[in-house]
Structure 1
Amino acid sequence: MKKHRYLVTLLPLIALGGCDTPTPDTESAAQTNGFEQVYQSISADDLKQYTKVISSDEFEGRSPTSAGEKKTLDYLTNEFKKLGLQPGNGDSYLQPVELLEITADPDMTLYIGDETLPYGENMMLGTSREQERVELKDSDVVFVGYGINAPEYNWNDYEGLDVKGKTVIILVNDPGFENPDSGKFQGKTMTYYGRWTYKYEEASRQGAEAAIIVHETEPASYGWSVVANSWSGPQYGLVKENGNMDRVAAEGWIAHEVAQNLFRHAGFNFDEEKAKALQGPYSQPLNIKASATINSTLKKSDSYNVIATLPGSSTPDEHIIYTAHWDHLGKDDSLEGDQIYNGAQDNASGTAAALTMAKAFASLDTAPKRSVTFLVVTAEEQGLLGSKYYADHPVIPLAKTVANINMDAMNILGRTKDVTVVGKGKSELEDYLQKAATRQGRHLVGEDKPQAGYYYRSDHFSFAKKGVPALYAEGGSEPIDEATAQYRKRTSLITTGCYHQVCDEFREKWDFSGVQEDTQLLFDVGYHIADSSDWPNWSQSSEFQRAE
C-alpha cells in the first residue's frame, strides 16, 4: 500500500519474529512466575487512591512548568522509587523537555472582510513562533477546502495555488466524514489529514502567513468551549533552533456562524463552498483581507517526562514502554468559584494505572525477559509535546522499543463486556489484546466514533509516527450487568461535558472496577510481550510500518 509520506519514519533494520499469540512455554513461565497472583492483586483501591491524590487541589491542575508540576514530579518519582523501579534516564527518573511558553494577549482583534472579531467568544488566534509581536496586515484570504495535500488519495487542495503571505481558511476533519459513501479517504474514520495539527503543518509547508480552521462541533467531535479553554492562556511548543519561523505566523479558529457571515459578506455561500470542497480538491479566493496583531509573552522553561524501568531478566536492552500523561490544564484565576482543572479522568486515572501496573510488574517473582519502562509524559494537552520530544530524543533506542501501550482517560463507568480498540486493525499487538480480553470473557470492538481521530490524539501516536507498534485500548460501552448499566447512566449524566472542564474532578462514588479490569488487561498484554521474543508488527493496511 502507499504510505502516508509524513507519518512513517523507518527504523534501522531489525529482525522481526512472527507475532503469534503467547506460546505454551510463555504461559508455563507465567504460571511459575507468580503472574496469576500478581494479576489478581491489581487493586481498584490502589487505582482509586492514586487517582484521588494526583487529581487533588494540592496538585493545582498539573500544568507544565507550574508549582503543580513540581509537586506531581516529586510524587511520581517517589512512588516509582518506593515500588522498586530504577531511574529510566541514566541515574535520573526525569527527562528535561525544553518548552516555549507563549501567552497571547487576549486584547486582540481579528479584522477579516467586514467582520471584526474580538478574541475569545467566536475567535481564537495565536502564534507558535518565538516572537513577541506578530502582525498580519492586509493578508489575502483564500478558502482551501480541507487544506489537504495527500498524493496517496489523489487529493491536493493547494494544487496550482500560491498562498505565500496569505491567510487560508480550512474545514475541520477530512472529506470522508460527511461523504462516507464516496470512497474518499477512510469514510467516517478520520485520518491524520483531518487533525488540526496536520492542517497547520501543511499550511506552513505551503508558505501561508496564517491558517484559520472553521470549527464545527460534529466533525471536530468537541464543542467550541473546548477550543476556547484549550487555546486560551499559556500555550506550549518545543524550543527549536529556528524559533519555529517555518510555522505560519498566525494560527487559530473561528466559529461556524462566523464563517457563514464571513463568506456571505464576501459574496459566497459557506454551505455551497463546503459542498464543493467535499467533492474533490478545491480552493476559492474570497477577495477579502485579514489583519491582526498578536502580542505575546514568551518564556522558556523546562518541564519533565518521568521515566522508570524494571530491567528485563534476559534481554534488558529490549523494552516495552507504557505511556500516560501526567499533565492537565492547571488553574485559571479569572474564573469565579472553582478555578482548578483537576483532570481526574484525563489523566490522573491513566497515571494511576501506570503506578499500579508498575507495582504489579515489580511484584513478579522474576522480571520478564525484556525490560518494562513507564514513560509518564508532560504537555500532552498542548499537542503531545512530551511524547513527541521523547520520540525525537529517545532514551531507549527506537529499534529496541518492541511496543508502546498507552493509557489515557481510563474507564470510570464500570466493567464492560467489550474492549474498545482505538484504531482497531492497525497492529499485531491486538493478537495479545484478544487473548487477554478472552481471559476476561470480553470481546474486542472498534471505537464508536472513528471520525474523531482519537488514534492521533494521544501519546502513542508519537511512537506510531516513528514506526513503533502502539496500542490504545480502553473500556467498552456494553455494561457487564444491569446494575452497572444503571450506574453508567447516572455517572454519565454528571461526567458528560466535563472534558477539559473544571468538573473533571474525583468523585468518591466512582466505580473503579472498570479501571481495574482494563489495567489487568493491559498488564496481561505487556507481560506476555515482554516475556517473549516476538516483535509485533503493524498490519499491512496500516499507514505505519517498521523497516523489514
Structure 2
Amino acid sequence: MKLLPRTASVLALLTAAACATTGGNDAERRFKADLTTLASDAYEGREAGTRGYDLAVDYVVAQFRQMGVEPAGEDGYLQDVPLRRAYRGAPGTALATFEGPDEDLTLTDREDFLLDAPSLSDPGAEDAIATAEGGVVFAGYGIDAPSLGIDSYAGIDAAGKVVLLLQGAPDGLPSEEAAHFQSTTTKIAAAAARGASAVLVLGSAAEETPEMRARMARYADMPANTFAGRDAGHEDVVTGHLSGSAAMRLFEAAGEDLDAAATPDEAGRIAAIDLGGTMTLRAEGRFENYTAPNVVGMIEGSDPELKGEYVVLSAHLDHVGIDDGEHAKGADVIHNGAMDNASGIATMLEAARRFTTDEERPRRSVLFVAVTAEEKGLLGSEYFASNPTVPQGAMVADVNLDMPILMHDFTDVIAFGAQHSTLQDIVAEAAEGMDVTLAPDPVPEMVLFVRSDHYSFVKEGVPSVFLFLGFSNGGEQSFRNFMSTHYHQVSDSPRLPIRYDVGARFAELNYRIAKAIANADERPEWNRGDFFGDLYAGDEAAVGAD
C-alpha cells in the first residue's frame, strides 16, 4: 500500500467522509461516513501506537473541532498514555527455589514456573530486576470478601510471604462477582494488601499436555501490555505462574497434599495453609515504552452549580491492526474493526453532534472520550479513569459505547451495569421513549460487565452503563454469527451488511441517556448494598446514605 503523509492523508479522508454517502437521513449519512472512514484500509486497523491509530486520532479531533466540541485533554484534545510492552528476561534468567521442611527444590524456568516481567512506574525505564524471599502460604482462591462471607486468608499471616493461589473462583458466586474475583489482577491486589512479597497462581497438572506446554512457551516470549505506574501499589510484589506438577512437588516437599488442600470442605471453604519453608524468586524484564493518546472533548454545562460535574461518553478508538503472520500473496491482512469499534466511535460522534445542535446546553458538562489500547487490556480507559483531565470525583457517570453489532433492527437492549445504580431507571425511561425494552443478560457466562471500558470507571467508583443490542428481532443470530465468524477477523469490515439507520438510532438512544443524566437534579448513586458500589465507592455513595 502506498502511504500518504499523515496530514495529507487525514485531509483526503475527511474530504471523502464528507461526501461518502447519499440517501437516508442526515444522522444515518453521518454515521456511515464516520464508520466507513475509520474502518477503511487507510487506517491500517488502528492499533494503538501505530500510524493508523494516529490517523484515527486526527480524524476524531477534526470532527470535534468541526462540531464545536471543546478540547479537554492535557494537550488540547489529547491525553498521552505511557504504554509499555514488558518482556520477560531470556530463558534461564528467572530463578525459583524452595527450601522445604521435607525436601529442597530448584525449579526450571519456563517449564516449572513463569515469572512476570517486573513493574516500574518510571515511564523511561528500560529494564528491571525483582526479587522476593520468604515463607510460603497457600490461600485458596485468594478472595477477601467479607460481604460474601469469604476470607481465603483466615488463619495465616501473608506479610512477607510467597502466596500460592488457585486459578478461578469458587462455585456459587454471581457471574459478575465471580469474574471480578477470578481476575489475576484482583488476586494480586488482595495479596499485596496483606503484605505478600510474591504471588504465584497454580496451574493444573491434568492440563499439562504437550500442546499446552507449546502454548506456554510461545506465551513466555510475548510481552505483557501495561502502562507505566499501573501497578504502583504493588510494584515490589513478584508475580507469576507455577505449573500444576511443580506445585504438587512443592506441597509434597512441605509435607502437604495439593489435591487435598484444594478440595473444599462441606461448607464449601478451602482452608489456608502455612507451608513453612523458604522460597526465593528472581525475575528480570525489559521494556519497550511508547505513547498513544486518549482523545477528550467537552461540552460545558449550563448550570453554574452543576457544570463542574461531568457525564462521560466513552468508546475505544483502537483495534488490533495488521496481521503480521504468514499469508498468501495479496491476502487481506488489515483488521478494519468496523463493528469493533468504529461503530462505537461513530455512535459517540453522532451523540456529540446531537448535543452541539441542541437549543439548550445540558446542565452538567459532558465529556466525550475516545480511549486507546482497549484491545491491550482496557489500558486507555483505566489510565483516564484513574488520571482524569477533570477533577477526581467530578465524573458522575460513564455511558460506554463498545461494539454495537448493527446488523438487525433492535427492539431491546441489555444495559450492563445499570442494575447496580440509579442509572437503571434513567436507561429504562430513555429506552421506553424509543419503544425499546430492557432485556436481561443473555450470555452471563461471557461476563461482559467486566470486559469493556466502563469497568475502568466502575473501579473508580463511577456508576456506569454499557448498552448492548438485545437478542430479539434477529439480534441473537446477528450476535452469534458475528462472534463466531467476524470478531477480531479481517472480515469485520464495512463489507458487512451494516444497518446505518440502526446505528443512528442507537446513537440517539445513548444521547438521550446521557442527556437525562446531565439534566437530572441529582447525580447517579450506587444502590445500597450493591457489591461493586460498596467495593469501589463505599457506603456513603449509595442510595439512601446519610
Is this a same-fold pair by TM over 0.5? yes
2:504 pairs with 1:520: no
CA deviations over 1:335-389 (Å, ceiling 9, x no partner):
5466555443332221221112112222223322332220112233344332233
Of residues 130, 153, 162, the one that matches 2:148 is 153
Relative distance call for 1:274 and 1:108 in structure 2 (3 A) is farther
Deviation of the 1:47 alpha carbon: 3.2
2:188 pairs with 1:200: yes
Q: Distance in 1 between matches of 2:463 and 2:47?
A: 29
Q: Distance in 2 between matches of 1:151 and 1:357?
A: 41
Deviates more, 1:187-196 or 1:424-433: 187-196
2:399 pairs with 1:415: no
Relative distance call for 1:228 and 1:186 in structure 2 (3 A) is farther
Superposition RMSD in Å:
4.2
SS of the equivalent of 1:410 reads: coil
* Counterpart for residue 85 of structure 2: 101
Relative distance call for 1:428 and 1:472 in structure 2 (3 A) is same
- Aligned partner letter, 1:319: Y
Q: Distance in 1 between matches of 2:485 and 2:90?
A: 25
Q: Distance in 2 between matches of 1:500 and 1:291?
A: 40
Relative distance call for 1:150 and 1:492 in structure 2 (3 A) is closer
- Residues 110 and 217, structure 2, Cα contact 8 Å, conserved in 1: no
Relative distance call for 1:243 and 1:397 in structure 2 (3 A) is closer
Relative distance call for 1:155 and 1:497 in structure 2 (3 A) is farther
2:418 pairs with 1:427: no
Relative distance call for 1:136 and 1:503 in structure 2 (3 A) is farther
Aligned 1:30-179 pairs, distance under 5 A: 43-89=27-73, 92-104=76-88, 118=110, 126-130=116-120, 132=127, 134=129, 143-163=138-158, 164-166=160-162, 168-172=164-168, 174-175=169-170, 178=171
Q: Distance in 2 between matches of 1:228 and 1:492?
A: 32
- Residues 414 and 513, structure 1, Cα contact 8 Å, conserved in 2: no
SS of the equivalent of 1:366 reads: coil
CA deviations over 1:509-540 (Å, ceiling 9, x no partner):
23345443332211111122323433222222
Deviates more, 1:81-90 or 1:337-346: 337-346
Relative distance call for 1:343 and 1:150 in structure 2 (3 A) is same
Of residues 376, 379, 399, the one that matches 2:373 is 379
Deviates more, 1:310-319 or 1:430-439: 310-319
* Counterpart for residue 471 of structure 1: 465
- Aligned partner letter, 1:299: E
Deviation of the 1:333 alpha carbon: 2.8
* Counterpart for residue 12 of structure 1: none
Deviation of the 1:493 alpha carbon: 3.3
* Counterpart for residue 527 of structure 2: 539
2:350 pairs with 1:356: yes
Deviation of the 1:79 alpha carbon: 1.7
* Counterpart for residue 395 of structure 1: 389
- Aligned partner letter, 1:311: E
Deviates more, 1:284-293 or 1:330-339: 284-293
Normalising by the residue count of structure 2, what TM-score does the alignment of the two structures yield?
Answer: 0.74
Relative distance call for 1:344 and 1:266 in structure 2 (3 A) is farther
* Counterpart for residue 18 of structure 2: none
- Aligned partner letter, 1:539: N
Deviation of the 1:141 alpha carbon: 6.9
SS of the equivalent of 1:197 reads: helix
Unaligned runs of 5+ in 1: 1-39, 217-222
2:319 pairs with 1:319: no
Of residues 263, 268, 271, the one that matches 1:279 is 268
- Aligned partner letter, 1:521: L
SS of the equivalent of 1:381 reads: helix
SS of the equivalent of 2:468 reads: strand
Of residues 354, 374, 398, the one that matches 1:404 is 398
Deviates more, 1:527-536 or 1:75-84: 527-536
Of residues 520, 529, 532, the one that matches 2:517 is 529
Aligned 1:248-263 pairs, distance under 5 A: 248-251=237-240, 259=244, 263=248
Deviation of the 1:419 alpha carbon: 1.5
- Residues 97 and 305, structure 1, Cα contact 8 Å, conserved in 2: yes
SS of the equivalent of 1:317 reads: coil
Q: Distance in 1 between matches of 2:459 and 2:486?
A: 30
CA deviations over 1:127-172 (Å, ceiling 9, x no partner):
2513735477999876532111123333221233355452523222
Of residues 294, 307, 311, the one that matches 1:305 is 294
Q: Distance in 1 between matches of 2:529 and 2:320?
A: 36
- Aligned partner letter, 1:146: Y
Q: Distance in 2 between matches of 1:231 and 1:438?
A: 50
Q: Distance in 2 between matches of 1:529 and 1:230?
A: 44
Q: Distance in 2 between matches of 1:171 and 1:274?
A: 13
Instruction: Number of aligned residue pairs: give it.
Output: 483
- Aligned partner letter, 1:169: L
SS of the equivalent of 1:102 reads: strand
Relative distance call for 1:515 and 1:335 in structure 2 (3 A) is farther
- Residues 87 and 93, structure 1, Cα contact 8 Å, conserved in 2: yes
Normalising by the residue count of structure 1, what TM-score does the alignment of the two structures yield?
Answer: 0.73
- Residues 190 and 451, structure 1, Cα contact 8 Å, conserved in 2: no
- Aligned partner letter, 2:78: L
Q: Distance in 2 between matches of 1:348 and 1:306?
A: 14
Q: Distance in 2 between matches of 1:368 and 1:230?
A: 48
Deviates more, 1:285-294 or 1:408-417: 285-294
Q: Distance in 1 between matches of 2:133 and 2:234?
A: 20
Relative distance call for 1:245 and 1:461 in structure 2 (3 A) is closer
Of residues 498, 514, 517, the one that matches 1:510 is 498
Deviation of the 1:103 alpha carbon: 2.9
* Counterpart for residue 329 of structure 1: 320
CA deviations over 1:95-118 (Å, ceiling 9, x no partner):
222334323368579898899685
Task: Give the greater-gyration-radius structure (CA).
Answer: 2
- Aligned partner letter, 2:301: G
Q: Distance in 2 between matches of 1:237 and 1:70?
A: 19
Relative distance call for 1:187 and 1:323 in structure 2 (3 A) is closer
* Counterpart for residue 236 of structure 1: 225
2:198 pairs with 1:209: yes
SS of the equivalent of 2:420 reads: coil
Q: Distance in 2 between matches of 1:495 and 1:224?
A: 28
- Aligned partner letter, 1:344: A
- Residues 263 and 270, structure 2, Cα contact 8 Å, conserved in 1: no
Q: Distance in 2 between matches of 1:215 and 1:508?
A: 41
SS of the equivalent of 1:367 reads: coil
Q: Distance in 2 between matches of 1:241 and 1:441?
A: 42
- Residues 315 and 401, structure 2, Cα contact 8 Å, conserved in 1: yes
Relative distance call for 1:373 and 1:111 in structure 2 (3 A) is same
SS of the equivalent of 1:72 reads: helix
* Counterpart for residue 480 of structure 2: 492
